[in-house]
Structure 1
Amino acid sequence: MSERLSVGEICTREVTIAFRDTDLVAAARLMREAHVGALVVVDEMPGKRMVAGLITDRDIVTAVIAPGLDPRTLNVEDVMTEPVLTMDEDDSLIDLLRMMRDKGVRRVPVLGAQRELVGLVTLDDALEILAEELDLLVGAIGSEARRERMRRPAA
């Protein structure tokens, strides 16, 4: 990792995807099988996948189950969020955190140089990195105290 963490360095590169015409029940099963709470909806282009939307387990519950709609009659496109907020893989972690805070999102697709899907970064990914950073700070505090005791032993 570099000194300036980028979104591309912390994102998950193996993204569980769906297509616009994926039926909603199949999408829910895919989430369950992959143990994920969201699918990135893509349009297939020659050699790349372009982000079309995002669908979460919460979308299915609030837009379909709660109002009593029949999920068997719907496709991902009927429920997905679009347009989706995205980040470029060279954007910084701090920019990601600001966007997540300002826009109230927990998952952000990551785009490559040709605007193609290259990963997904989640709030959990960011928290894991920040926890490591905090651990380094705590270690520095402990190291300083040990160094002081060695340099100036108690009298």
Structure 2
Amino acid sequence: MGERLTTGEICTRDVSFALRAMPLNEAARLMRENHVGSLVVVDELAGQRIVVGLLTDRDIVTAVVAAGVDPGMLNVGEVMSTDLVTAREDDSLIDLMRVMRRQGVRRVPVVGGQGELIGLATLDDVLAVLSEELALLVAAIGTEGQRERRMRPGA
């Protein structure tokens, strides 16, 4: 990782995705099989996966199950969130955290210049990086005391 962490460096690149026309119950099964809480919804155009939405387990529960709708009658495109928040691969970690906070989202698809799917950045990814950075700061505090004892023995 570089000194300026980018969204592309911290995102997960092996992303579970679905097409709009996929039956909703098949999408739910895919989530279960892949142990994920969301699927990035894409359109396949000219060999690229263009991000068009996000389907979360919460979308399925609130829009379908709680409403008493038969999930077997719906497809992903009818339930997915289309007010999509994305990040560019070269956005900074700070930019990513700001957009997550401002938009109130935990998952952000990472896209390239054509809107193509690069990865998925999650709050878990951000927390893992930040905890690593905090551990480095804690280690620096411990090292400072050791340095002081070496430089001024008996003081």
TM-score by length of 2: 0.98
Say whether 1:75 aligns with 2:63. no
Query: Is the 8 Å Cα contact of residues 38 and 57 (structure 1) preserved in structure 2?
Result: yes
1:27 corresponds to which letter in structure 2? A
Who is 2:154 aligned against?
154
Query: Is the 8 Å Cα contact of residues 52 and 83 (structure 1) preserved in structure 2?
Result: no
- Residue 67 of structure 1 deviates from its aligned partner by 1.2
Who is 1:51 aligned against?
51
Q: Deviations over 1:121-147 (max 9, x none)?
A: 000000000000000000110000110
- Residue 84 of structure 1 deviates from its aligned partner by 0.9
> Whole-Å Cα distance in 2 between the matches of residues 97 and 76 of structure 1?
28
- Residue 152 of structure 1 deviates from its aligned partner by 1.1
Query: Is the 8 Å Cα contact of residues 42 and 50 (structure 1) preserved in structure 2?
Result: yes
> Whole-Å Cα distance in 1 between the matches of residues 115 and 64 of structure 2?
31
- Residue 112 of structure 1 deviates from its aligned partner by 1.2
Query: Is the 8 Å Cα contact of residues 13 and 119 (structure 1) preserved in structure 2?
Result: yes
> Whole-Å Cα distance in 1 between the matches of residues 30 and 123 of structure 2?
21
Q: RMSD of aligned C-alpha atoms?
A: 0.8
> Whole-Å Cα distance in 1 between the matches of residues 116 and 69 of structure 2?
33
> Whole-Å Cα distance in 2 between the matches of residues 84 and 152 of structure 1?
58
Partner SS for 1:40: strand
Percent identity reads 65
> Whole-Å Cα distance in 2 between the matches of residues 47 and 55 of structure 1?
22
Partner SS for 2:130: helix
1:106 corresponds to which letter in structure 2? R
Who is 2:24 aligned against?
24
Say whether 1:8 aligns with 2:12. no
- Residue 154 of structure 1 deviates from its aligned partner by 2.5
> Whole-Å Cα distance in 2 between the matches of residues 17 and 3 of structure 1?
31
Who is 1:89 aligned against?
89
> Whole-Å Cα distance in 2 between the matches of residues 114 and 103 of structure 1?
22
- Is there any run of 5+ residues in structure 2 with no aligned partner, and where? none
Q: Deviations over 1:39-85 (max 9, x none)?
A: 00000011211001000001100111111111111111111000311
- Is there any run of 5+ residues in structure 1 with no aligned partner, and where? none
1:6 corresponds to which letter in structure 2? T
Who is 1:120 aligned against?
120
